[in-house]
Amino acid sequence: MIGAGNLATNIGKALAGRGHDLLQIYSRTAESAERLAALLHSDATTSLAEVKDGADLYLVAVKDSVLADVARQLAEGHPDRLLVHTAGSMPMETLPTRRRGVLYPMQTFSKEREVNFREIPCFVEASETPDTERLKTLAQTISDKVYEADSEQRKYLHLAAVFCCNFVNHCYALSEKLLKENGGLPFDVMLPLIDETARKVHELSPQKAQTGPAVRWDTNVMEKQLQLLKDKPELQDIYNVLSKSIHLLT
């Protein structure tokens, strides 16, 4: 396991829980490597030059910004290593080895929060057919939802995930800030609304589930709410852009 962050921690725990032997954990910092290694009953290292030979595959779960450099160092002198990265937005060709692949679990991960990996869709691809099958078999030990997807498809998967996860969570953060600054109501009051919104799209398409003033283009309500944001022009911009997008889509 190359990496010891949020994704590496979660996928490492899932793999270990299914009986896979994680030989070694690499991280730039000794504390991170040793913490995850202890959790997974593995060895730790902070040196890519000291990464052990002989593993079935090397799962590279690091930041996109350092992926190419880390992969290059792992490949030096080891052209036949099967390198597999976990990034949604990075092409498989980022890895410089002959045998290369991707195992992308599409989920938001935090070290401190347990997830049920069996419910997480995992997308795989590899440069050689035997390695594609190997990755599918591996992924199926931890997930019930395994799909083949090439780098082009995965780019749009990741983009869609940014919209439905990262941008939505940012809206939660903006909502919490508005409540704190205007009367101090707790964000907890929003949780039933958030939960019902999420439950609805299990039964309805997101387009059909959409409600609110922008759907009706209720300018009376919208103008009043924009006035409430008169001291926050950046939030007015977000409000306007999202409202127009909602109205056009519905």
| pLDDT value for 79 | 84
User: Could you give the CA distance from residue 169 to residue 236 in angstroms, rounded to a whole number?
Assistant: 18
- Does residue 3 come out as left (phi exceeding 0), alpha (psi in the -120 to 50 range) or beta? left
User: Could you give the CA distance from residue 102 to residue 120 in angstroms, rounded to a whole number?
Assistant: 15
Residue spans of the chain under pLDDT 50? none
Domain boundaries, the chain: 6-149, 156-249
| pLDDT value for 77 | 84
Query: According to CATH, what is the number of the domain 6-149?
Result: 3.40.50.720
| pLDDT tens digits for range 41-75 | 999 999 999 999 999 999 999 999 999 999 999 99
Same fold, 6-149 and 156-249: no
- SS (HEC) of 70-128: HHHHHHCCCCCCCEEECCCCCCHHHCCCCCEEEEEECCCCCCCCCCCHHHCEEEEEECC
3-state secondary structure of 250: coil
| pLDDT value for 18 | 96
| pLDDT value for 250 | 83
The residue assigned the tokens 């896979």 is: 20
Amino acid at position 42, single letter: S
The CATH class of 156-249 is mainly alpha
